[in-house]
Amino acid sequence: MSCLILLCTAIWVCAPISSALDQVVQKKTYTQDEFVLVSGQKLVGVKVGYETYGQLNASGDNAILICHFFSGDSHAAGKYAADDKVPGYWDSIIGPGKALDTDRYFVISSDTLCNLNTKNPTVVTTGPASIDPKTGKPYGMSFPMVTIRDFVNLQYELVKSLGVKKLAAVAGASMGGLQTFQWAAAYPDFVERAIPVISTPRVHGWLLGWLDLWGMPIMSDPKWNAGDYYDTDGPIQGLSNALKIVTLSAFWTGWAENCCDRKWSDKEGSPYAAMPNTFLIDNALETRARDRAKLADANSMLYLVKANTLFDLADQAGSMEQAFKSMKAKVLMIGADTDMLFPPSQIKAYLEPMTNAGLSASYFEINTGNGHLGGILDIAQAQEVISKFMSQ
């Protein structure tokens, strides 16, 4: 709930300088009979959802692709119905006259393979919860391992199918930023600009540690049953615990102070009076995690964790220098000053190597009490810098 409030605040802040995307958006589905993963394994009947805002021009070169974050989906802007309480997560920068101007650009936002929220009716994805055509049952942990590169390769097929000849920009936050870096490295002639937000071109050891903790509660839940749980309730407790860790590690002090400070969960039940009486933040984390767990799939979370851990452009190219030399896109990196998952110090350290490799690279920092999620909730701060970057 607090996140919704914060999101509204971010949108309100943005309101005076641009108008909301008043278009009612629809989730569409891209399907492909066969898709070959980087590992060589084949997936048949692949589906991913996507949304578009604005119109593609005749030359097919005014498209912008938005890649989503770990627990997100392709609903980046607009509303599915006029009375939706909140629009897509980056609505403050996507729309007529905004940084990613839908009067000028054709914005595409795509779901990834193994999207977390398989039970969200507006998410379309292919992953371990999908039916394996060979068995007629969900793949579970027999689903092949996927990588960020696979996400991007499938998006490449998707955008080509829409008539896109070139992407004016790829942008995304967090795991969306990993995809953005991957796009610039994998398809250098197809990407003019890259806007990786709260993200780095490799997942550092520190974040590997956090990703380990995000998967841990699922695999510790006996109901996970090595991923074979689709005929049961599944590891709801483990998944919910995992989402609690995701939530807190993605935030910062501001969120906790604003939502809860030292308020009690129950006005009558003083935490000072008894062991089980808790503070409001425990309740906020629990409620939020339980609500998110209802829409999510535990195995998909493990596949996403794995895909994130494997991301390193240096490993792919032999060195980071080689990776940067292979890229052609102009790069605008955006960090959040209180981000503890992708600390700004780690992001900024890539500026000099990028410039040395001949890239046009710049950095902007969001000032936020929301930590990592500042890259989503407070993205409106980057409105002007993104606008300028798009006109370069």
CB of 117 to a second copy, least distance (A): 21
The amino acid at 5? I
Residue 152 in contact with a second copy, rule: CB under 8 A: no
Annotated active-site residue in 110, 174, 199, 300: 174
Stretches 67-75, 85-93, 173-181, 245-253: which one binds a second copy (CB under 8 A)? 245-253
Task: Please confirm, yes or no, whether 339 is among the known catalytic residues.
Answer: yes
Q: In sequence order, what are the residues at sequence separation of 6 or more whose Cβ sits closer than 8 angstroms to the Cβ of residue 370? A: 6, 251, 252, 254, 255, 336, 338, 377, 378
**Which one among 241, 370, 381, 383 touches a second copy, defined by CB under 8 A?**
241
325-344 binders of a second copy (CB under 8 A): 340, 343
Residue 348 in contact with a second copy, rule: CB under 8 A: no
Residue 318 in contact with a second copy, rule: CB under 8 A: no
Please count the residues of this chain forming the interface with a second copy, following the rule CB under 8 A: 54
Task: Name the one residue in this structure whose structure tokens are 């220098």.
Answer: 321
User: How many CA within 13 A on the CB side of residue 156?
Assistant: 21
CB of 316 to a second copy, least distance (A): 10
Residue 82 in contact with a second copy, rule: CB under 8 A: no
CB of 313 to a second copy, least distance (A): 12
Which residues lie across from 268 on neighbouring strands?
A: none
Please tell me the distance from the alpha carbon of residue 257 to that of residue 204, in angstroms, as a whole number.
29
CB of 104 to a second copy, least distance (A): 39
Q: Which is nearer to a second copy, 54 or 238 (CB)?
A: 238
Residue 150: which of 322, 316, 374, 9 has the closest Cα?
316
Residue 157 in contact with a second copy, rule: CB under 8 A: no
Residue 19 in contact with a second copy, rule: CB under 8 A: no
Residue 330: which of 311, 299, 357, 297 has the closest Cα?
357
Letters for 188-217 (x = contact with a second copy by CB under 8 A, - = none) are: --------------xxxxx-xxx-xx--xx
Residue 147: which of 203, 229, 220, 76 has the closest Cα?
203
The amino acid at 223? K
Residue 274 in contact with a second copy, rule: CB under 8 A: yes
- Following DSSP, what letter does each residue of 137-187 receive, concatenated? EE-GGGSPP--HHHHHHHHHHHHHHTT-S-EEEEEEETHHHHHHHHHHHH-
Cβ contact 91:100 at 8 Å: no
Q: In sequence order, what are the residues at sequence separation of 6 or more whose Cβ sits closer than 8 angstroms to the Cβ of residue 329? A: 170, 183, 184, 188, 191, 192, 193, 194, 359
Task: Please confirm, yes or no, whether 372 is among the known catalytic residues.
Answer: yes
Q: Which is nearer to a second copy, 57 or 309 (CB)?
A: 309
Letters for 249-268 (x = contact with a second copy by CB under 8 A, - = none) are: x--xx-xxx-xxxxx-----
Contact set with a second copy (CB under 8 A) = 141, 145, 202-206, 208-210, 212-213, 216-217, 220-222, 237-238, 241, 244-245, 248-249, 252-253, 255-257, 259-263, 271-272, 274-275, 278-282, 285, 302, 306, 309-310, 312, 315, 340, 343, 345-346
Residues with a catalytic annotation lie at 174, 339, 372
